[in-house]
Structure 1
């Protein structure tokens, strides 16, 4: 007699819980016992019914526990996946924050370099303006105060405004002087023109009288 255990028996047997496999083994042992010639069939049937009930309870309990175990394992996997996802997001946020910090530092360095160039340019312009409108020392030496090299933006703007105002005042003074000289020359030319006209007119009258 061939024992039909169905398809994929090995895989199903390996996937079954230990309690289920043990219940099947116990059933097989009871079947083997009834095959002995000295076995009492009636007693075996009553005993088998009792053992089958217990086996069914054991199998049902085993699958309940197995299901609970699978659910717990799935929950743990989901929890681990969630933790990995959260950690990846934290890593991405940290990388993004580091990138922003690097960009801000780069922009700050570029702005600092630009301000340094502007400051040097303004210093050169101030020195050029001051050298143009102030007399150089007789001995030709210039003493620089190192403490004045660190000039704040406010001081630079104030100095430029002062230079601008001084230039505007000097320009207005030069314009007024030029206007005064022009008026004087114009007045002198007008006087000369009037004298010339009067002189010529008197000469013409003398000629008429003679």
Structure 2
């Protein structure tokens, strides 16, 4: 008598959990006992009923364990995929932040250079303006009652110094504003990166 076990029996047999295969082997052994002439049939039937119940429980437990194992393996694969994706996104964000910082530094240096040139230009104009006013020759005092007046050299120097100080303060203010704006952009970029990491660092724990 030929035993028909269907197609791909070996593959299906090897893919079956070990506990299930052992249960099938035990069932076959009991069947072989039944074919023996010396077997007590009533006792065999009673024992077979109990063994079938035990075998059913073993099969159900084996497939339940296999299902739990497959779910855990799928969860681990998903977690690894999420970790890889997060690492790639963090690397991309880091590259973007580095480029942003580099660009901001370049703009800051350009603004600083522009402001330095402006300050040099202002100093040059002040010197040029100062050179136009030389010390007046000694002359008799001007009679203000007759509509004549005279500007003191010290007053001119004082005015020029005030102008120079004011321009220097304006230049320093612009530099400080540029630095503050640069720091603010860096803080925003750092905050966005932290929020991005926190938002993508919770992996699924479902089973």
- TM-score higher than 0.5: yes
- How many matched pairs? 142
Distance 1:97 1:154, change over 3 A: farther
In proportion to residue count, which structure has more helix?
Answer: 1
* More moved, 67-76 vs 78-87: 78-87
Distance 1:99 1:132, change over 3 A: same
**In structure 2, how many angstroms separate the alpha carbons of the residues matched to 1:117 and 1:158?**
12
2:13 is equivalent to residue 13 of structure 1: yes
The runs of at least 4 aligned residues of structure 1 exceeding 6 Å deviation read none
Question: RMSD of the alignment, in Å?
Answer: 2.9
2:46 is equivalent to residue 33 of structure 1: no
Point out which structure has higher relative CO (alpha carbons under 8 A, 6+ apart).
Answer: 2
Contact 1:122 1:156 in 2 (8 A): no
Q: Which runs of 5+ in 1 are unaligned?
A: 136-152, 160-210
Q: Residue 98 of structure 1 aligns with which residue?
A: 98
Matches within 5 A, 1:1-210: 1-134=1-134, 155=165, 157=167
Kindly state the Cα deviation for residue 37 of structure 1 after the two structures are TM-superposed: 4.3
* More moved, 101-110 vs 81-90: 81-90
Q: Which runs of 5+ in 2 are unaligned?
A: 136-162, 170-207
Distance 1:100 1:5, change over 3 A: same
